[in-house]
Amino acid sequence: MTERRAYRYYDLVMVAFVTVLVCSNLIGPAKIAQLDLPLLGTLTFGAGVLFFPISYVFGDILTEVYGYARSRRVIWSGFAALAFASVMAWVIVKLPPAPFWGNQAAYEIAFGSTWRIALASLIAFLCGEFVNSFVLAKMKIWTAGRWLWTRTIGSTIFGEGVDSLLFYPLAFYGSGIIPDDKLLLVMSSQFVAKVGVEVVFTPVTYKIVAALKRAEHEDYYDRHTDFNPFALKT
């Protein structure tokens, strides 16, 4: 059990995490983007992939500075916010539109995720984030706090790997939305893109972590932490 103490910026990081999570899951998935890039050629992707990995950056920062137990509280907060947003979107989409309102079809496209996709997203998020936080906390002990980049990228590989392995089969296998023979390709490309975002943000992560450690006078090591994801006490 971690010692209770007040932090200046913990709540702000939590709000940033939840905001990025909810926005990337509600706004991004409705649009499929395509870019023509030098050397790489044509790249097609779900727009949400640009921003969802940022939640893993915040997850890394939380665990690195404040420890697994406090990160666990933020993950559950994000899960609750995401679940509420999904239920809210479902209810609003299902409400009968006024006869003079002609935007129902567009609204359904933007916010009308099926129950299967919404549930898959919740499960994948929860498992992926806990794996990410657990791996980072353990790697911090193994590396004695050195080589931050190894644990931010390493934990993201495991976390995003679990997220992708769960989300795409649960959401799309046998649905016809994505052909089953293309599912592995889509899953792999999205995984690489998400890890790539983590790599790009590594210098920013270093600066934020260093600033928070100085401001909070905290650099937590999870040597005696209860890693049970359902134990909400800190």
Burial 110-141 (b: 16+ CB within 10 A, else e): bbbbeeebbebbbbbbbbbbbbbbbbbbbbbe
Continuous segment of H or E residues that includes residue 42: strand 41-46
Main-chain phi, psi angles of 29, to 5 degrees? -60, -25
> Residue 43 pairs with which residues in a beta bridge?
35
Q: Region 124-133: what's the mean pLDDT?
A: 95
pLDDT in tens, 3-61: 567 899 999 999 999 999 888 887 766 666 777 878 767 766 667 777 888 889 999 99
Looking at residue 26, its pLDDT comes to 78
Predicted local confidence at residue 3, as pLDDT: 53
Q: What is the pLDDT of residue 4?
A: 66
For the chain, list the domains and their CATH numbers: 10-216 (1.10.1760)
| Euclidean distance between CA atoms 73 and 7, whole angstroms | 14
Position with higher pLDDT, 73 vs 118 = 73
Give the pLDDT band of residue 110 (cuts 50, 70, 90): confident
pLDDT at residue 2 greater than cutoff 60: no
pLDDT at 66 over 90: yes
| Beta-carbon count within 10 A of 221 CB | 12
Q: Distance from CA of residue 182 to its chain's centroid? A: 23
Band of residue 132 on the pLDDT scale cut at 50, 70, 90: very high
Q: Which of 163-167, 181-185, 200-204 has the lowest mean pLDDT?
A: 181-185
Q: What pLDDT is stored for residue 30 in this prediction?
A: 61
* CB 129 within 8 Å of CB 62: no
Number of helices and strands in the chain (H, E): 8, 2
Average pLDDT over residues 196-207: 92
Alpha carbon distance 197, 195 (integer Å): 5
Mean pLDDT for 60-65 is 96
What is the per-residue pLDDT across 112-124, written as a single tens digit (0 to 9) for each? 776 788 888 899 9
Model confidence at 103: pLDDT above 90: no
The conformation of residue 5, written as its DSSP 8-state character, comes to: -
Mean pLDDT of 65-82: 95
Model pTM score: 0.88
Half-sphere exposure of 53 (CA within 13 A, CB side): 27
Predicted pLDDT at 102: 86
Q: What is the mean pLDDT of the chain?
A: 87
Rg (CA), the chain: 19
